[in-house]
Structure 1
Amino acid sequence: MNKKQLLRLIGSAVCAVLPFWLLDLTLRAATGCAAWYPLYAAAPNLFSLGFGALFAALCLLPRRRTVGRVLYGLIYAVWAVYAVVQYSIWRIFDRFLFLSDFLFAGEGLGFAGYLRQLIDVRFVLVVVLLAVWGALGVWRLPENLPRRRVCPAFAVFFALTQLVAPRLYAPVPETLDWDAWQSSGYEYERFSSSAYDLALTGPYQFVARDAFLSVLPDADAAEKRAQIDAFFEERPAHEDNEMTGLLAGKNLILVQLESVDDFVLNDENTPTLARLQREGINFAEFYTPQYSNGYTFNTEFAAQTGIYPYANGNVAYSLSRSAFPYAIGNLLAGEGYTANSFHKSEAKFYNRGAMHQAFGYEQYHSALDYAEDELQAGDDRFLVDCDELYDRMVQTQPFADFLITYSGHLGYDEIDALTTYALGEFPEYKDDSRPYEINGLFAKARLTDEMFSHLLTRLEEDGLLDNTVICVYDDHYAYGLTDRAVLEAYSEAAGGRLLERTPCFIWYQGCTPQTVTKTLQTVDLLPTLANLFGLPVPDTMGRDAFDESYAGYAIFPNGGWLTDKAYAKNGQIVWNNGMTDEEVSQMNAYARRFQEVNDAILDTDYYADKAE
């Protein structure tokens, strides 16, 4: 082979590999991955070139070029679709899907129309570029190459990239100080932040490593259990306080709102909820960090168990057989309560049929099993107006009911049937001076508010209101608004320090109104309720809001944290109103440890031996 032939061979090989690398580069550039890890960094580019070589080798194996082109097109198309899906998810959530998150696809398909609102010039440009790279690859796929030489060479190159690329990351610190997460090597091993991880690896290695870690056996279970024990032993033990046992023996109706954000809940949009918030115990600085891409179930799991789900996947399917003896349902069932849960969706969504049993609820009730159609089931008022459902809530005392509302779910545009229905029910929200989506969100929230109005009426008529506690919290901020600037403006006007601030309050007849300004997070709800109901406060990641030894904080999955005094994001202090450098360093270290212990609890089924 002369020099000219060798150059032609190399050129042909590059043409076969390049489109897969360009797909990766397009995705990382379009989604702002450079903010996490440079686009030009060697490791992710090597990974993608290596996978490109592997895919090209597979396509060069067939003797007929036509067959190879078809195979090339199929492989590329799968990854192009994957890239478009991840780009769409990033546009909504500023994060990406791990493999386990795709188990939620059935839930997401019902709202596929919402994605139409994402289509703009940027979206079209990304799709066109991905299509162009694929077309070039199919067109330029070489023929008459010495397959016996080229294909093994490509395979060897792929293997080398797998060996070399991970060694190009920054070394894992010998001592994991507060800023350990900034080490690319540490994050590659931990693989918990989807945005950071895709920036580190590119899409192909992102999937491969995610799959590898999903099946990797846990050889450190004993060490992790010791780490958990040490964490709880070092933390101040819970002590009784003036709120301990205040609500003991009362019925509980725990309600998780859907997208009723802090700027949505007010006298105009939700008069009943606003009244209950004023008259009850209002947790004014309550935050809902989102560890899993299943935002609703993320909060559902955290509130019920006092533990956050994995940041790199879901727990709805992987942990349905784990033991959660300290979940709210189990704690109250142990005190003789009859516990049931209620929501619009079928039991298979988020595996609620199994998960709610693990939380201690006797049965999960879907409104779809009782409604005439999906639209009726989507109206939250139906949960209370349907006699069969309401009877199951209150038929046996003391009862503990868990209601998950639905009406506020995205989307909020003209093509969403429930939005059209809500605006028809409440035409006063057709305000041309506001974005249509805001009108839709507010009208949908009014459906939820009327559910509470009907619930209070029925409880009073049945003589149950005086002995019933209603605890309300939100699943997440209203991320379904497609105009981020509008969302941020409304949230800021409502006084929120972060988008993640959401409503949370407890109401009961005769409650002395009070406002708790301590910074709290979703996992704090379980121990707070346990204390109020006079139950043993379990060792979970959350703390009792009324515990004097608890200063209050929220820990976010990207390594950030929030206290009353400061906010840190991606390892950097965003604002600081009084914390010393030493306190900041300690909080950074604590946030990292918090997440490690949280995941270790899930990894080891830590509470299994405490279930008896």
Structure 2
Amino acid sequence: MATHPKKLEKKQEGKALGLTFWQCFARNRLYSTSVSGIKPYLYIIPFFLAYFVLDLSLRFTYRGAGIVGVKFLPASLFTLGWALVFAGLVFFLPKIPRWFVRCVPLVTFVVIAITHSGFMSAFRRFFSFSVLTYGGTGEFMDASYIQIDWKVIVGAAIAVLLMMTSGRLLKVIPPKPVKASVLAGVAACLVGVGVIAFTHFHYFPVADTVIWETSQEDNRSKAYHELSDSTNALMVSGLYQYTVRDLVRQVFPANTMSNEERQQVDQYVAEYEAAQTDNEYTGLLAGKNVILVQLEAIDTWMLQEAYMPNLSKLKAESISFTNHYTPAYITAGTFNTEFMTNTGLLPATGGIATSVYGNNSFPYSLANLFGQQGYTARSFHNSRGNIYDRGTIHPNLGYEKYYGYEDLAMENYQMDRYLINGFDQMTEGNPFFSFVITLSGHGPYGEDNPSYQAHAEAAQAAAQRTDGNYVYAVAGAMETDQFIGELVDSLTQANLLEDTVLIFYADHYNYYMMDDALNMDIKGVDNMNMLQHTDFFIWSADLEATQVDKVTSSVDVLPTIANLFELDTSGAFLVGHDGLGDQGGYVFFSDGSWYDGETYWSSQGGGTGDPDRSAEITKLTTLSNWVLAGDYYRSQE
């Protein structure tokens, strides 16, 4: 078969110029002789598509996780704008910088997209750069928690292939940009910046005045501006806009408080104090010793007599808050709740430096409130002080010392039974306040876990099932319960039990099960927010067993304790309320959803819900962020 003379001439010319197959393909198939000014730049098509594919694959994979779906227009517009900016830079840069801009950003975003998928599997939310500032958090992370969704992997692979295709075509471009390409590049960048700016101001306008009333559009704007929920923030703004804003806000966090913001906080504090009234529980436990125990990953279904007989007995004799929730605001689930219960504030979300925990003034923390009443205040946990930087943060919260596993001479830090080694330090002082954080309910689970090895037979018999993580979780609960039993025995032997109040709450639901569908089935709920139902109860020898059905959450723990012990919170900014009083009575979650015991309103489901409640939630979250960002108490001093 004869070869067409013109095709033969083109092939021979390509070989003579040293062009590869791909370059010859570009010359013979992609170039158009009728638009000669554009023909060297068709590489931009796969380059442009690569960014779209990566972003859409991530948002499509988790389209049901946020308050908007994958079709949300502003997110796509942000992606369009950033793709234009990157494309424009490649147009007018010389060879070496052009290669850098072409390769490095996309590879970086591929890694970030995969990281988001891993974080979603482990923490049920997307990654934020803020987690990098938590000291030592990675020590308890295990590869078994991480599961990358195949759709994200496919999207990332397609994006990389598109970029490789773009690179093949790019090699036929002259190493130095020409006038036309410079002009095209500048134009693309300007259009891209314009699209980003238009989307930012048109779809997410910044209010000139403080307005607390919210609608569904306001919830989207709140998620975008505050970055308080990484999942919603990414879904409303796309991968690239979210990443850039998240990084910028971590590098340049808000650290000031305007006069208007201070006046808003002052007004809230004054109104809060004016609304407080005594009740039958006010001062009922004043002067008694206190041991506050944060139960790591001890879910409601785990706290039963068959698994935890010691703790179940105490709960049955306690004031038990049956509708208690631990909403998660940051990926550091344990520290999330630890901070809320100790301060009555919400954790620092996007745009606030996490150094606030170790540097800010917290005169109304539990440790400081008890310290003002003459209590000793100490904290105890199985890990070293670099985990969540507790060695710095706990003293800043008013604890005299943080005792880690080395201080406690624990034979195995994963086994809670050895926390009893610190009993003398826990009970030193008259009166004393000790904060204890358990660990054995924590993952990773498996046959090599020391708690499972110690309780395997009993856990299998009690659980009456053999599926791995469920039995591993039961074994961890049994190990924690063993410490509780030894603690009660030691208090009894030291003649301290009658004069010591034991307070228990869980730091989060047991997500180490790695099966939220099973968790929801066990707990009889149908969404991730309601899954955060946990235990909170207060035991004292002279308290009658009482069930309180009022809805409470982590931020209500401090006000409840303060009322029982008649601690002075005058001047404190508190997000929550006394669980035994007549105020509050609802929990709100990081996505703006709320539950009051009768109604669950989802910010993802549409509708306005109760506008007054939504307005109050918006106000509380905003003011709490201002208190942290502006170091409210220190500036008062």
Out of 189, 203, 207, which is 2:225 matched to?
A: 189
Tell me how far 1:515 sits from its aligned partner: 1.3
What letter is aligned with 1:188?
Answer: Y
Q: Map 1:78-117; keep pairs closer than 5 Å.
A: 78-104=108-134, 106-116=136-146
Tell me how far 1:9 sits from its aligned partner: 4.4
The TM-score, its normalising length taken from structure 1, stands at 0.88
Q: Map 1:119-198; keep pairs closer than 5 Å.
A: 123-141=149-167, 142-145=170-173, 147-148=177-178, 149-150=181-182, 151-169=185-203, 171=205, 176-179=212-215, 182=218, 184-198=220-234
Deviations 1:198-218 (A, max 9, x none): 112212211211233442656
Q: Secondary structure at the match of 2:394?
A: helix
Tell me how far 1:561 sits from its aligned partner: 1.3
Q: Secondary structure at the match of 1:456?
A: helix
Tell me how far 1:545 sits from its aligned partner: 1.8
Q: What residue is the counterpart of 1:578 in the other structure?
A: none
Return the alpha-carbon distance in structure 2 between the equivalents of residues 218 and 399 of structure 1.
35
Distance 1:486 1:34, change over 3 A: closer
Distance 1:319 1:297, change over 3 A: same
Return the alpha-carbon distance in structure 2 between the equivalents of residues 484 and 219 of structure 1.
39
CA-based RMSD of the aligned residues comes to 3.0
1:378 aligns with 2:414: yes
Identity score, percent: 30
My pick for the range that moved more, 261-270 or 48-57, is: 48-57
* Unmatched 5+ stretches in structure 2: 1-31
**Contact (CA 8 Å) 1:477, 1:500: kept in 2 or not?**
yes
Q: Secondary structure at the match of 1:367?
A: coil
Return the alpha-carbon distance in structure 2 between the equivalents of residues 169 and 493 of structure 1.
34
1:31 aligns with 2:67: no
Out of 458, 462, 475, which is 1:443 matched to?
A: 475
My pick for the range that moved more, 128-137 or 48-57, is: 48-57
1:232 aligns with 2:266: no
Tell me how far 1:390 sits from its aligned partner: 2.1
Q: What residue is the counterpart of 2:579 in the other structure?
A: 545
Tell me how far 1:62 sits from its aligned partner: 7.5
Q: What residue is the counterpart of 1:251 in the other structure?
A: 289
Q: What residue is the counterpart of 1:591 in the other structure?
A: 617
Return the alpha-carbon distance in structure 1 between the equivalents of residues 135 and 100 of structure 2.
28
Q: Secondary structure at the match of 2:52?
A: helix
**Contact (CA 8 Å) 2:327, 2:529: kept in 1 or not?**
no
1:518 aligns with 2:550: yes
Q: Secondary structure at the match of 1:140?
A: helix
Deviations 1:180-202 (A, max 9, x none): 65464454333333222211221
Return the alpha-carbon distance in structure 2 between the equivalents of residues 32 and 211 of structure 1.
23
Distance 1:323 1:280, change over 3 A: same
Tell me how far 1:332 sits from its aligned partner: 0.8
Return the alpha-carbon distance in structure 1 between the equivalents of residues 188 and 468 of structure 2.
53
What letter is aligned with 1:498?
Answer: M
**The structure with more radius of gyration:** 2
Q: What residue is the counterpart of 2:632 in the other structure?
A: 606
Distance 1:109 1:4, change over 3 A: farther
1:206 aligns with 2:225: no
Q: What residue is the counterpart of 1:77 in the other structure?
A: 107
Q: What residue is the counterpart of 1:412 in the other structure?
A: 445
Out of 356, 361, 373, which is 1:335 matched to?
A: 373
Distance 1:40 1:588, change over 3 A: closer
What letter is aligned with 1:250?
Answer: K
Deviations 1:497-541 (A, max 9, x none): 921111111112233211111111111111111111122244311
Distance 1:572 1:115, change over 3 A: closer
Distance 1:474 1:93, change over 3 A: same
Q: What residue is the counterpart of 2:50 in the other structure?
A: 19
Q: What residue is the counterpart of 2:494 in the other structure?
A: 462
What letter is aligned with 2:271?
Answer: E
Tell me how far 1:359 sits from its aligned partner: 1.5
Distance 1:427 1:298, change over 3 A: closer
Distance 1:569 1:334, change over 3 A: same
Return the alpha-carbon distance in structure 2 between the equivalents of residues 464 and 199 of structure 1.
53
Tell me how far 1:37 sits from its aligned partner: 3.3
Tell me how far 1:439 sits from its aligned partner: 0.5
What letter is aligned with 2:226?
Answer: R
Q: Secondary structure at the match of 1:510?
A: coil
Q: Secondary structure at the match of 1:206?
A: helix
Q: Secondary structure at the match of 1:403?
A: strand
Q: What residue is the counterpart of 1:577 in the other structure?
A: none
1:344 aligns with 2:344: no
Return the alpha-carbon distance in structure 1 between the equivalents of residues 142 and 87 of structure 2.
33
What letter is aligned with 1:30?
Answer: T
Distance 1:16 1:108, change over 3 A: same
Return the alpha-carbon distance in structure 1 between the equivalents of residues 606 and 105 of structure 2.
43
Q: Map 1:359-378; keep pairs closer than 5 Å.
A: 359-371=397-409, 376-378=412-414
Q: Map 1:269-348; keep pairs closer than 5 Å.
A: 269-312=307-350, 316-348=354-386
Q: Secondary structure at the match of 1:341?
A: strand
What letter is aligned with 1:189?
Answer: H
Return the alpha-carbon distance in structure 1 between the equivalents of residues 68 and 334 of structure 2.
29
What letter is aligned with 2:343?
Answer: T
Distance 1:401 1:477, change over 3 A: same
**Contact (CA 8 Å) 1:423, 1:440: kept in 2 or not?**
no
Return the alpha-carbon distance in structure 1 between the equivalents of residues 90 and 205 of structure 2.
36
**Contact (CA 8 Å) 2:318, 2:537: kept in 1 or not?**
yes
Deviations 1:429-482 (A, max 9, x none): 585735211101011011001101001111111222121111100101112221
My pick for the range that moved more, 184-193 or 334-343, is: 184-193
Q: Secondary structure at the match of 1:17?
A: helix
Deviations 1:364-418 (A, max 9, x none): 1111444466xx111011110x2xx22221232211110001110123344x534
Tell me how far 1:281 sits from its aligned partner: 1.2
Tell me how far 1:319 sits from its aligned partner: 3.2
Return the alpha-carbon distance in structure 1 between the equivalents of residues 121 and 631 of structure 2.
34
Out of 303, 306, 312, which is 1:265 matched to?
A: 303
What letter is aligned with 1:23?
Answer: L
What letter is aligned with 1:565?
Answer: E
**Contact (CA 8 Å) 2:306, 2:462: kept in 1 or not?**
no
My pick for the range that moved more, 303-312 or 327-336, is: 303-312
Q: Secondary structure at the match of 2:42?
A: helix
1:390 aligns with 2:427: no
Distance 1:184 1:239, change over 3 A: closer
The TM-score, its normalising length taken from structure 2, stands at 0.85
Return the alpha-carbon distance in structure 2 between the equivalents of residues 280 and 185 of structure 1.
43
Return the alpha-carbon distance in structure 1 between the equivalents of residues 122 and 71 of structure 2.
26
